[in-house]
Structure 1
Amino acid sequence: METQRLITHLRHVDLAVPDFDTQVTFYEDLWGLTRVADDSGVVFLAAEGSPEQYVVRIREASEKRLDLVAFGAATAADVDALAASLLAKGIQLISEPGKVDTPGGGYGFRFFDIDGRTVEISSDVAPRVHRKIEARESIPVRLSHVVLNSPNASATRDWYTENLSFALSDTLSHPYIGDVMYFMRCNPQHHSLAIAQGPHTSLHHASFELRGVDEYMFGTGRLLRAGVRKIWGPGRHMAGDNTFTYFFDPHGNTVEYTTELELLDEDTWHPHVYDFSQPEVTDQWGTANPMNELVAKESFNDPDRGVFVAPPL
């Protein structure tokens, strides 16, 4: 019998950085997010096309780290059921289910995943008043997906499958080094989460969806003209069939503009294993700079200082 899936979608990704003002300016003025709330040393940024209260939280801290990744659940009962299930399996909770004290409120809890990163699950968050993104408006519609580096990616894949009912959509594999990435879904979107094989626990990248290919290209061009460092792209992946251009934010986190991520028929979908050494797998169009070891290394990021250390808020 298939396990009931209680997680519905990806909500937000929360970053801590030393140079707070520079980071906020990048995401607000260049990346195209909207400041919706702030406190001393904390800013909440929304995507104009998304009902989520915010998709990125930036916190001022002495060290760079990934504070947390947040997912949604449909009801408070589902939140309670997930917390009880994790506790029964001996998984460490950071907080018990209760009131969420961030924009939009809600009901949720936090815990450490197998790699020690903080995960939040919440329900009953008030939707934000949002709007339709217009043609040629090159700002994010929503947060698309997050990719996490793990020193044991297959174990992390299994952990999210067994404990949070994520399903495997596709795998990237290499003939000499084995599996390099697992694409995981919690709804018909090809992936809301992916797990990459890396040298340490860290954020691989966060991806933001634009309205369409035209808006994606206008956004890519805007960042290039502003002198933002491009890592890889523009191109179109095979797994997920989505467009991609990857950039560095001011603290060396990789962020992606994308669009047209594949929606699956989950009843008939069978996961593929794609050969990562084939250029058409990494980029169907053939327009991106070639994927090589140097490009791949850019996404390893710094070792996460937040492993098994809960963020202060």
Structure 2
Amino acid sequence: MQTLQTCTPARLCYLHLASKEPQRQIDFYRRMLDMEGLAQPDGSWILSGPQRAMLVSPADHSGLLAAAYDLGDQARLGELRARLNENGCAVEDIDSPLLEPDAFVLRDPQGRQTIFGVSRIDPGVDRQGMPGRLQHVVFQTTELEAMIDFYVNKVGFTVSDNVVDEQTGQLMTCFLRSDDEHHSLAFFRGSKNEWDHHCYETNEWNDIRDWGDRFAKERITLFFGPGRHGPGNNLFFMVVDADRNRLEFSAELEITDAARQPGVWPQEEYTLNSWGRAWIRS
């Protein structure tokens, strides 16, 4: 089976956020994540920092509008578009200030938008700031099996690990990869459909310390962690931004071979945080 990882590897490159108080949100990411701001004619702002970017648009609600993945070059983007068309996915052209021409967007059965394109951001440009590459995005869903079927069998993500309720046998969480990193997308079974969090991958444990110290100086307390996840084996902690969106900082995320079979983990605190207490979605 052709997958993103084996044929058209894709990496998360930016998020498009809606915000009821965009200036406060922009100020947060400029101050806390070393992101430079550039106003756009439609009232949106481009925020960019070291290996991370964001588009923030004023709206009557706050949350995630779309997650965008970089294919690296136009040939791979065209190959992916053809494969999605063959799989019956409806794709639409999209203009983005952060992507080259020919980018496109697709919607999953619950309406989430995923953008695929080729990033305009030159990775060779040295942007000053603490290390933290935008790396994954996670959702809660009331229709977990349907979401996995769509993203695996239609789009081409690969299952890295599943978390299962051992008493009922019900699947609770699924971690999906689009390149060699353990996951760039994940879904938790939840009571509602919402954006769960997004994550920045750092270089090492000391970076986790330094990010934690930065938030501490601003009296921003940790929402979850520090700890180590079972699936992905990564160190982490979470905080919230100005709109109360959850963001994670991670290190040592597992590199996953394409031939690796999906792992199975029990639904328990130790799986989500082997160091201590965990946030269990329900």
**Same fold at TM > 0.5:** yes
Q: Which residue of 1 aligns with 2:35?
A: 34
SS state of the match for residue 82, structure 1? helix
1:284 to 2:271 alignment:
no
How far is 1:124 from its partner? Answer: 6.0
**1:261 partner SS:** coil
Equivalent residues, number = 278
Deviation at 1:29, TM superposition (A): 0.5
Quote the residue 1:255 is aligned against.
Answer: 247
Partner of 1:303: none
| Gap regions ≥5 residues in structure 2 | none
1:83-122 map, 5 Å: 83-93=81-91, 95-96=92-93, 100-103=95-98, 105-122=100-117
1:69, distance to aligned residue in structure 2 (A): 0.7
In structure 2, the partner of 1:166 is 157
- CA contact under 8 A between 2:36 and 2:49: conserved in structure 1? no
The CA distance in 2 between the partners of 1:292 and 1:9, in whole Å, is: 26
* 1:154 is the counterpart of 2:155: no
Partner of 1:60: 58
Q: Deviations over 1:261-281 (max 9, x none)?
A: 1112223x222111121x432
Identity %: 23
Q: TM-score scaled to structure 1, two decimals?
A: 0.80
Contact 1:243 1:259 (8 Å CA) reproduced: yes
Q: Label 1:18 to 1:266 Cα distance change in 2 as closer, same or farther (>3 A).
A: same
Q: Which amino acid aligns with 2:278?
A: M
> How far apart are 1:292 and its partner, in Å?
5.1
AA in 2 matched with 1:283: N
Alignment of 1:37-52 (within 5 A): 37-40=38-41, 41-48=43-50, 50=51
Contact 1:107/1:125 (8 A) holds in 2: no
Deviation at 1:7, TM superposition (A): 4.2
In 2, the alpha carbon distance for the partners of 1:6 and 1:101 equals: 21
Post-superposition offset of 1:18: 0.6
Tell me the alpha carbon deviations over residues 35-73 of structure 1, each in whole angstroms, 9 at most, x when there is no partner: 15322532222231x2xxx52221111212311011122
Aligned-pair CA distance for 1:107: 2.8
Aligned ranges for residues 1-313 of structure 1 at < 5 Å? 1-3=1-3, 5-30=7-32, 32-40=33-41, 41-48=43-50, 50=51, 54-93=52-91, 95-96=92-93, 100-103=95-98, 105-123=100-118, 125-131=120-126, 139-176=130-167, 178-267=170-259, 269-277=260-268, 279-286=269-276, 290-291=277-278, 296=281
Decide whether aligned partners of structure 1 residues 79 and 248 sit closer, same or farther in structure 2, where only a CA change above 3 A counts: same
Sort the Cα spacing of 1:124 and 1:207 in 2 relative to 1 into closer, same or farther, 3 A. Answer: closer
| Alpha-carbon shift at residue 220 of structure 1 (Å) | 1.4
Query: 1:179, 1:75 → 2: CA distance?
Result: 36
Deviation at 1:19, TM superposition (A): 0.6
SS of residue paired to 1:157:
helix
User: Whole-Å Cα distance in 2 between the matches of residues 263 and 131 of structure 1?
Assistant: 25
**TM-score, L = length of structure 2:** 0.88
Q: Assess, with a 3 A threshold, how the Cα gap between structure 1 residues 266 and 169 changes in structure 2: closer, same or farther.
A: same
